[in-house]
A = this chain, B = another copy of it.
Amino acid sequence: MNEFDLIRRLTRALPTNPGVVVGAGDDCAVLEPGGPDRLLLFKTDAVVEGVHFLADAPPEKIGHKALARCLSDIAAMAGTPSAALVTVGLPRGFQADWVEAVYTGLNALARRCEVAIVGGETTTSPGGVFISVALLGWVPRGQGVLRSGAEAGDAIFVTGELGGSLAGKHLDFEPRLAEARWLARHFPPHAMLDISDGLASDLRHLLSASRTGAELLGAAIPISRAARLAARAGSGAKPALLAALTDGEDFELLFTVASRDAVPLLDAWRKQFPGLPLTCIGKITAGEGIALRDKHGTRTLTDHGYAHFA
């Protein structure tokens, strides 16, 4: 059973109440705080030694990653993060300096994003280090972006470059908070998420939530330098395009806008965020699944992204 099957099974009949606007299944939960202006965003995520980082990774980067993953989900809803709680599981005999360095990295990112760290729990974890972050954020009513609003004809965009994150980016990526808020104000996406499981897998999540299909242009997909370098490593290496489609932990924004917005968006983006590529990689279709168009023709994309329990 992979992670997605398990989550489907566990989320079939979750308890709910009238305060829930969006429950399980999107990037964040959306809750009703009362008051006329804004909605509450709520997200939690964990990083585990041996899964999301290796024991010899720089502790500052581990702390950065633990918070950045949650921030990326707030970005995916076009929200503004506000406060986080951090639960750290530590083996007996841990080094206090190491834990403090984790917090140094986490706190530096929190300060830059104006996020308050409002509690620090620690617990013994005989099996290894884990860091679980819970994050609250806000989004103006009417500006939150779900996964479910894509419409046939929409242009599909992705920020940054994809693939090869394990070479380093997964530990020091920047959550796209400012970019997402700018989008929500100027070119409201119909649907958006952050790419954590890989483009192919996460696009499927967006399509499934929106009950649409997609056609991708193979030549348009922005491939990272890390993925290109890895592809040159030898005959057994993953081709670079496949890496961009299926490698996990890109933490870039994937979103759709009305097709008439596509060109004005690209023009405005270049002025607003000159250092970060924005690429149109295809369009939403009325069908099902993902068609990949390249020089060999059009084929159905069957490669799933990275699934945690695959």
Contact = CB atoms under 8 A, between A and B. Distances in A.
A124 B6 CA distance: 12
A40 interface: yes
A293 interface: no
Contacts of A14: 107, 116-118, 120
A13 B22 CA distance: 34
Q: How large is the interface on A (under 10, 10 to 19, 20 to 34, 35 or more residues)?
A: 35 or more
Contacts of A136: 31, 40, 42, 136
A285 interface: no
Given A19-B82, A115-B15, A127 B124 contact: no
A122 B309 CA distance: 9
B85 A42 contact: yes
Contact of A34 (B11, B38, B309): B38
Give the dominant DSSP class at A's interface: mixed
B17 A115 contact: yes
Given A7-B120, A125-B130, A126-B128, 9 more contacts: A10-B103, A15-B115, A17-B114, A24-B118, A31-B118, A33-B33, A33-B35, A49-B127, A51-B124
Interface of A: 1, 3, 6-7, 9-11, 13-17, 19-20, 22-25, 28-29, 31, 33-35, 37-38, 40, 42-46, 48-52, 82-83, 85-87, 89, 92, 96, 99-100, 103, 107, 110-111, 114-128, 130, 132, 134, 136, 308-309
